[in-house]
Amino acid sequence: MRSPHTYITTTIPYVNARPHLGHALELVQADVLARYHRHRGEQVRFQTGTDDNSLKNVLAAEAAGLPVQELAGPNAAVLAGVLLDASRSSSACKRQAQTKGRAT
């Protein structure tokens, strides 16, 4: 018999500011859930990431007088570090950024 598959995703946080404790809390909770299901022998896909293209990010960049990528880039990098530290068992950490019409 094949083991069950479990898919876990987190919300996609805005990167219009530096990450805060709430980001880490959600990631730790999702990580605990992923580890629990893996411990039971299930195959787990645990995915998280960021979205640079939200309206909140665009408005924050305009208010700061910066291009969106210049505002979001450093915050996304810090958040990626938090994601990796807080969710050691994640399968993937994706950053959704628009460059020349393509998502990266």
Which residue's entry shows tokens 């665009």?
Answer: 58
pLDDT tens-digit profile of 10-35? 888 888 888 788 888 888 898 899 99
CA dist., res. 88 & res. 28, Å (int): 9
- pTM attached to this predicted model: 0.67
Taken as a whole, the chain contains a residue count of: 104
Residue 97, Cβ neighbours under 10 Å: how many? 18
CATH of domain 5-95: 3.40.50.620
Average pLDDT, the chain: 79
pLDDT given for residue 16 in this prediction = 84
Q: What is the structure's pLDDT at 6? A: 92
Question: What's the start-to-end Cα distance of the chain, in Å?
Answer: 37
Which of 3-12, 18-27, 81-90 has the least mean pLDDT? Answer: 81-90
For residue 38 the two structure tokens come to 């893996």
